A and B are shown apart, each in its own frame.
Chain A
Amino acid sequence: MLRSKAFMKKTRKGNVVRVEREHYLRDDIVCSVDGCEQCDFTGSDTLLVTSASNKFTVSHPVLGRHPRQTARFTTPSLVVPDTNVLLNQIDIIEHPALKDVVILQTCLNELRNLSLPTYHRLRTVIQDPDRRFYVFSNEHHRDTFVDRLKDESPNDRNDRAIRRAVQWYADHLATLNPPVSALMLTDDADNRRKATEAGIPNSSVVDYFKELVEYPELLDMIAQVSLSHDAADRRVHYPEYVTKLQYQAGLKSNKYIQGSMNISHHNFLEGHIFGKVNGEERSIAILGRDHMNRAIQGDVVVVELLPKSEWQRTPTEILLDEEEVENDDDTPVEGQEKGKDSASAPVSSSDSSAMPAQPTGKVVGIVRRNWRAYCGHLDPKAGRSRTKQSGAQSILFLPMDSRIPRIKIRTRQVAQLLGQRVVVAIDSWPTNSKYPLGHFIKALGSAGDRTTETEVLLMEHDVPYQEFSRQVLADLPSEGDEWIVQDQHLHNRQDLRHLDVCSIDPPGCTDIDDALHCVLLPNGNYQVGVHIADVTHFVKPNTAMDKEAATRCTTVYLVDRRIDMLPALLGTNLCSLRSHVDRLAFSCIWELDTEANIVDVRFTKSVIRSRHSFTYDEAQSRIEDDALQDTVTLGIRNLNQLAKKLRARRMAKGALTLASPEVRFNLENDSQDPVDVELKELKDTNALVEEFMLLANISVAKQIYETFPDTSMLRRHPAPPPSNFELLAKSLNDCGFELNASSSKDLSNSLDRVVKPDNPYFNKLVRIMTTRCMMQAVYTCSGTVPEEEFWHYGLATPIYTHFTSPIRRYADVLVHRLLQACIDREAPYDPSILDKNRMKEQSDALNYRHRMAQQASRSSVELFTHLFFRHKKVLEEGHVIRVLKNGFSVLIPRYGIEGFVYASTRGSEAQKQAVLQYDPTSNTLHNPASDATIAIFSKVKVLITVEKESLEGTEHSTSTGDQPTLREKMQVHLVEPAIPELSVPVPADATVGSSNKLEVSSLPDGAVVVNDAGAQKGAKPCESTAPSKRRRIK
């Protein structure tokens, strides 16, 4: 084994120091090509002494004997991509057509520094044995290592290293019979030239994939990094970015401000970052295409402040100006559409009253791009003229996310892709291109389709929804569903199978996390146990399954499906605490006195056997049925008593009861189309279970924090700043109520007082609105925030964590591990639970995934609401919950949905006129003609419809005459109070209308929901009494 040394210089913390590191060169790194006789595949990777580290054994040979040969490269060639190909063309690298690839260590290291996400994607590909990707450690190979020459840049050195490695492979394999070669894949012309000079086979990406004729979609997937000359738009020229060195100096001298770009949902030309202006944390507006300078939502940007005279004063006007400029610039069609966009942007009322100038800036540099793959559809207009041509054409892609600009892509499949949901990635945004350039990744299916749209919303919320990989499934117990508790499992576990444990869950629940028991002790106290599924028994740290769960972080519940965090075998079977089977559990057992004070608490791993899985209703009826006196029922009854006391005490401490309108869809069995919506109801037994889960979580939080003060995973809920409540408090004041939000206790008390005898829903409405004023609860690693900030505002407890749902939340899995390490110090534990940084990273991931999961669920509900209302027109009663300058939001309690009613007639910019006048002092909208006033809490009647947001004024593409709906939007029209010009006449049949313009419902029964005050629901055949003269207001 040859050992030699290399020297490197490195700077650290600003000081330039010389760091010397050893660099060993080896002679045992193999080429890993099947059939190579020069390399010894047996020895190299079995040198590891221990068996524990089998994760590093690569089973050589990785590469196949017969790599692909193409028309141009008649010798079968291994493909060796360079760093930029890996970085830019990762989508195509992931395509299964590409096999027998050598990834050089040089490229891998460079890639890791350039983009960690791309690196991880590549690693996933490498791990797949079917893809035959081999990592060749050329930097440590005796024959392929190259020293940096004098005056050679690191990039040049790396290019040379790559060429040397390709050369080595080509020479090394030439002796094989039939010969195999290696082919360097690079888009760097200079590199290709040098390679050709040295006689190294090379190709550009396009040239190589052109020859793979059996995969035509590959060419669409090639990223276009620079704009071809003819496509360059001479009218557009963005300013160049400053260099890294410049902006780093600028950031240091406070000339520039760094922040994450946040673009308005209503206007993609308006963004802001948070940053320090004169030492004060403020929001800095960035307006208009030029100032945004190619920054996209989520990018970390460097911003330079504009002079004060140019700061934004009245946001709406400047915004509209920008729009106008925009319109002139665009084709007339687009302009019209944009005009509509700007009109539909609800303008925040609080901003409109002469506001102080807001800091405004422009983007001068980008620290990190945060591009991902975007879902959307192709612009149907653009493709129209050239659809018949074959070959690639440029087309605009309209992303679903309104914050993302359109993306220009090249594709050969325009005809197929129109009307489909497609996924597109951004490759680059050159200064001379108005829109970013991207490439097609895949098509998801036709737009408007339920499964496609569900996939879209999963992708848009970054939910990992793929099936579990083989490696993950391999970590499941080999017995499969035959797995049973055996004596060996009883080691270090308490046998609690004699206890009368039962579980209480919603109907149809298959992943039962928790079960309870209660026993009266001889001393008059109660022994209460909460038993949580022992997921960590199955999910061992650092297994593939654990890693997958750590990435997924949470189970995502959509209306019609569930994206599991753990494979179903665990979630719904082996871990689920089902009745009448032995299951492993993690138990938290208290001794409570009759007043529900904790006398003693202990935690133990256990084995339990649930006596019964109740639904909330069943448990409720057991409690109420006096005839039942069995031990299980008695237990539930005692638990209920204790829960009430716990709850009372919690309330006294200031815990909040908040509300959110949650709905449940009744889906039709076969088609999974929604047939009915109902609000979720809460029962006494819900509260029972909740109360003990809270108690368990609090007890566990105390315990783990005591043992691991630095690395406990806690959940905290910061107190909302008082400013959040200002608007609500003012509106309530107008109704004669006082809202005191100085502490959670005061808030809770004042919420209790907000009762209108004539409106039973009023209190709930206020609670819903209060919920929106709250901060998000977050997971925190205890070592990263001071102890006083652990406070959970909503629950009014000084410390809290999540322990009770390990099947669906990864935080609970971590907490289980921490708790296990607390109670059994002998037991082996994963060292990473003591690593503060790792815990911090994990908690950030948890928060992100958690937020995304919530949004995905909400979007799913929205999607189903749309489907539900698609062929209906429903008259509903609603409450105004937000008044803005150009309209108001209505919450419809029956469906838990919210809609926006505009204060002006719709139409083009010029015709538009405000029907309602906004009064900033009272925060109301007033219509002088009918003397109607819209204020917060006003009761209104609205008509709910779903309308296709078709692109008006454009003829539909000729080739696809029947355009599928691209975007559907739920519209809410005001019915009462009647305001001329604005409110819609109630359709002829007074309650329900159905337009015969819409296609006949695909719902077989065509059920309609009629609602008028009494909330009667009934299936009534849908009559087609079309109100043909009904004015259509949009």
Chain B
Amino acid sequence: MSERIVVVGAGMAATRLAQDLPGVTVLGDEPHPPYNRILLSAVLEGTHSPDAVTMRMPGHVDLRLGTRVVEIHRAEQEVELADRRRVAYDRLVLATGSIPTLPPIRGLVRLDGRLHEKVHAFRSLADCERLSTAVPHARTAVVVGGGLLGLQVARALAVRGLATEVVEGGDHLLRSQVDAPAGAILARDLAKLGTTVYTGARAVRLTDAGLTLDNGYTLDTDLVVLTAGGRPSTALARRAGLDVRRGIVVDGQLRTSDERIHAIGDCAQFGDQVTGFVPPAWEQAGLLARHLAGEDVTYEGARTVARLRATGLDVAVLGDPERTDGDVVAISNPVVGSHRKLVVRDGVIVGATLVGELSRIGLITQHYDRGTVLGPREPGDLLMGERPATPVALPDDAEVCACAGVSAGRIRACHSLDDVRETTRATTGCGGCAPAVRQLLATRTLEGTPS
């Protein structure tokens, strides 16, 4: 009999693992099928329908939704469910994700324990749908948290017509990803798009008058959206006595301190790294699937590329540019709202921030992911942006018509388009050179005329 592999959690990491590992059992806490969490702000904005973010588990998976695991019995190799039933495993995979942290704001939670009616978390599809339903009845919104998710939600709400403000406790936006000048440029861009940003200000109290900040402002608002982040969900692992620091500690085979138990995704910690992104979670899931299938593979940590998904704001952060050693090649241009920086070590891009000008994002990401060794001028060239083409006079030996192999000189020697066709056959193939030929014939008649 093949190994019984049981996965706790039915989020993105679990979905990916199940795709690569036929026959697994997936125990999901939430009642609905997994969905693509990173597209929730797109659902809010309206560019994606809720159906389009639903991740469908492949058919060969034993998927049990609404099934909460309350205990791991390591000695018996069983997990216990909320209804006291048990599920046996040979290998257990924890993909429990993260849980949102509530900021310490008085008045967020009502006496009955529920959130204040104006307050919305933004973590699950249910959160997203509840917020989306509230939008048509609101005029104003305050987003608490100026991280990637906060900015995405703020833009989505603004696109849907709300007057939106952002409150960020740190001294600049995206403070865990980018430096202060980049954050300042983003704040300016947001202001241009109609969204006010309060940095260095904490929301402390929610009352009928509005949301009060520690700088004394009170923001009158219909909606308060909390995007202040999350922490790894580790309670189950902790109770089972596994090694847990910020996340569940795993090694190069994504094994916890119990060799029959693995952890992947937001709940896991590899080295110092706890990631909150889908791509590393998927990378881990793919690698674990291969490991469980018997391949000799080792996880070496994630290369993250964080992308802001918001209309009108362009941000990409590769790696951790603010905390990575290397030479910094940077161009900051607040005049046009761009700020780009590459961190380069031994010719390799080891981190990058791109704000406002992303035309080379595809190439820079390729270099980053592949560890391409660049020449000394190349990082600078990569930031220069492509120059607009300069029209130049064609030399006589330049080929104008590739189909017939005709040079500019031979066209210049002709006196009309018919002459060109008959004597050179230029323009008779694909026809693409016709504009150039007409231009050459036109400039020929002006020859000698001072321009």
A is bound by B: no
A residues in contact (CB < 8 Å) with B: none
B residues in contact (CB < 8 Å) with A: none
